[in-house]
Structure formats: C-alpha cells, structure tokens
Structure 1
C-alpha cells in the first residue's frame, strides 16, 4: 500500500505547544511524543508499504537518535519530499539510510496527477492535485490542495485510497 505522511517533527519539543489539540493533549514530553508517533506509525504502516513523507520528518535531533527511530519504523521504501526543517546534513543521513530524497515529485494514478511538495503550491490545472504539508493544522480551500500533515488529519498516515476518497467527497463537491 502507498501512504502519505507529513510534518511529524520527531524531536521537536515546541510542537507540543504549537499543536496542543493534536499533540499537547496526548503527550507531555518530546520523548513521549516520539514514542507515540513510532507506535502510531507501526500500527498503520507495514514493512511492505511505500511511504511518501512530505517533509519535516525530524527536528534538531542527533544523527544517532534519528537512526534509532528510523530503525524502529515499518516501511519497504520511503521517499522524502524535503521540508524547511530537513537540512543538508539530515538529507545526507536519510540517503545513507536508503531513503530517497527529492524536493518535489509527480505521481499518477488512474489518469490523475498528484504533485508532491512540502509547501502548498499553486497549480491551476485540471486533474492535478497538490499533496503537501508545512501548514500543520490549517486547510487551504482551493479544491486541489491536500494537506497530509498529522496535525491536520489527526492520523499518522493517509493511504492513497483514503486520499482519493477525500478528493471525491470533499474537493469535488
């Protein structure tokens, strides 16, 4: 199965304050949040799944701690769309760990295109949706932006099927 995840911010203690509704009310510390995110990830994603990670995966963590968390996460293949907190050293570490890193990507399913980017991107074309992150719990009412952030969806990951269902029920009204 293919999943999309966004803006998990492993290691970011201030996110507990910024996003109280999705994080602060569940976890009291960054350590609790990290463990909770790992648990949610592994309850949803299997070792046979492909994950498109829409950026800001980790925040200000030591390489050894990043590697420790990566080793605990289920996935067959991960493609990271680099975000504003995914700096050069971290990108190099991701690549060394077998994660494909891109700054944007285009995927297609059933004749519909999906432009993957960390930031919401203005597109202006039919049959083209922007799967993005960055804006956490906010929503862009354009009809073609799909925010897959944990803080917006309340879910650790969104499957491609769920994403298409969202488009059909919400965006194509």
Structure 2
C-alpha cells in the first residue's frame, strides 16, 4: 500500500479554467483527465489524502468518489461544502498530522508559514496556492496545477528537492 497526496482538483468547477492556465477546453475534459491521471497512479488499496477543493458541489463529489481509486481522506479546503464520510471519504477533517515513511507530515489545505515540528524535520503538505507561492524548506504544494494533474507520492516530492548528482 502506497500513500499519495493531491489537492485543488476542483472537479466540475468552470471557474478554475478561467483562473489558472489548465490545458483543458472544457470542464468535462478536465474532469475526465483528472480521473484518468488519478487512477493511473493510485491503486485500489492505496491511501490518498486530498488536501482540499475537491469538487464544486457535494452531489458531484458523491458521484465522483466511487470512480476514483484508493482509500480517500479529505482535509477540507475553502471550496469544500458539506463533505462527510457518507460521500465516500474515510475521514474528513480541517487539518491532520500523520507519519509516513518515517516522516511527520502536517497536512492542511492552506500553506503555513510555521507548523508543528517545523524545526524538527516535519513537512508541511498543502494546496490552495496553485503553485503561486514560494515554498519554505520542507514545504510542498501538492495541488494538481504543480504536480502534472495527478496525485504524488511522498518519495517523489522529496526526490524533486534533492540536489542533483554531479
């Protein structure tokens, strides 16, 4: 079982196509591609943490969740209206602290300037900024706009920050 992270899918939301330069001609095209990319990465038994702004409406969220692989957890964002476990989430919360691969992770939709354990090696994973905010050390935007429109594994985040070998 692997663990993946994502954020800011904004399923069914036409506004995101006007606000951010996504490569889609329509909401239907965006939704279909995001579902395909999610399922190409996340297996049925994998765990996935969605860090907010999942879908435009709770009804759409309930329709989409069964189509997406993985055991799904939601850390709610500012555009998540009334999400609950009945819609297919294993858990729903505004904030989470978990440990994976020997790392303490602080998960929230919003990027922090300071977080629990920041100076003891914990990492802050977030969304909300759509790649428009310079990260602090040990801070990662996991939003689809900066992660090739797909969920990302912790190891891939850490590998991207490692210095390249000469």
TM range (shorter): 0.7 to 0.9
Q: Find the counterpart in structure 1 of residue 67 from structure 2.
A: 72
Whether 1:40 aligns to 2:32 is: no
Aligned with 1:158 (options 125, 134, 152):
152
Alignment length (residue pairs): 159
What SS is found at the alignment partner of 1:125? helix
Q: Cα offset for 1:7?
A: 0.5
Quick check: which one's helix share is greater?
Answer: 1
Instruction: Provide the rounded CA distance (Å) in 1 between the counterparts of 2:74 and 2:102.
Output: 23
Aligned with 1:142 (options 101, 117, 136):
136
CA contact (8 A) 1:118 1:134 kept: yes
Q: Unaligned stretches of 5+ in structure 1?
A: none
Q: Cα offset for 1:167?
A: 4.2
Instruction: Provide the rounded CA distance (Å) in 2 between the counterparts of 1:62 and 1:142.
Output: 33
Aligned with 1:97 (options 57, 64, 87):
87
CA contact (8 A) 1:138 1:152 kept: no
Structure 1 runs of 4+ aligned residues shifted over 4 Å read none
